[in-house]
Amino acid sequence: MNTELEPPRVPPLTAAERSRMRNQLMERTRPGTRRPARHWVAPLVGVAAVGAVVAGTLVVTHKSPDHAGVAGTSTPAPTLAYGAAKPQARVGVDLGAVPQAQLAKVVTECQFPTEPGPAELVWSRHVRGISKDSTALVGLARDTKGATPKTVPGDGGRRPGAGSGGLPSSASLGYRYCLTRTPPLGKLGSIGTVGRVDDKAWRTDPTVKRGLVALGGSDGDFTNDLHTLQAWRIYRALPGIAKVEARYVLDGKPGPWTSGVVDGGFAYTEVQASGTFTSGQHLKTEVRAFDAHGRQLLLT
């Protein structure tokens, strides 16, 4: 027996097969063959990080409205303080500008009986009345004949001297607020009101912390039957305040929010409650203000 068998004949490799075997050998001997898969991990992490930053910015912006500007004022926006409430009043008091034919009536109402007049009208508005079939005219004026204040050199002409024309020294500038009701029917009770604006109040400019400065008004106006109690007030308003609302608080219970007036740097609010009241009773009110975007300004 011949034990020296010849190996089976192997056919020669083609050029393509030799190239394929060479590539396989080179691939197996190359270090770090799994690295290409990690090439996609870094971009995915990067996108997720950017997404987190953008989302965080949106949340911060949404929760920090005080970083937005306020219409009508050049005051740096970050100094303004905002609340979370939105305007919700369904009742409004504004009836527009006072008709030209009735301006003289406002001027007359803004004079005291002993004054020669006429007063200089500073601001006026037509508003709802104390009863369903009445309206009212409100105004601010200045007695130019009886209140020409003396000034101290160097004070910019703002500080008055002693009272003149019989005016108290605390109101020697001669500014006053007034209200006249129309039609003057018997059930309206008082048909006209005039009062002096304190000099200190008139000189006080609104600020971002005190957006409304009260100039005058009443908290205890009645109809003759004592079934309607009314409170109203005129303010100097901070530029940037676009809307004011007020509500009464009676026996610890608040009434509905009522939309007031903001016009020409002044504001007017009015509320009225129905029930059975006693003469001399007063109506407590709460007031809030909003900018042109409906954001509430925190008033102190």
* pLDDT tens-place string over residues 176-208: 999 999 886 667 777 889 999 999 999 999 998
Q: What is the pTM of this model?
A: 0.66
The reported pLDDT for the residue numbered 30 is 53
The reported pLDDT for the residue numbered 209 is 85
Query: What CA–CA distance (Å, rounded) separates 142 from 117?
Result: 10
Tokens of 42: 């870094």
pLDDT at 149 over 60: no
Q: Which comes out higher in pLDDT, residue 189 or 156? A: 189
The reported pLDDT for the residue numbered 9 is 60
The reported pLDDT for the residue numbered 64 is 25
* pLDDT tens-place string over residues 78-127: 345 566 677 777 789 999 999 999 999 999 999 988 888 788 999 999 99
Reported as type and span, the H/E element at residue 121 is strand 120-128
Query: φ and ψ at 123, to 5 degrees?
Result: -155, 150
Q: Which of 147, 300, 295 is nearest to 211 (CA)?
A: 300
The reported pLDDT for the residue numbered 233 is 97
Q: Which residue has the tokens 């100039």?
A: 215
Query: What CA–CA distance (Å, rounded) separates 192 from 194?
Result: 7
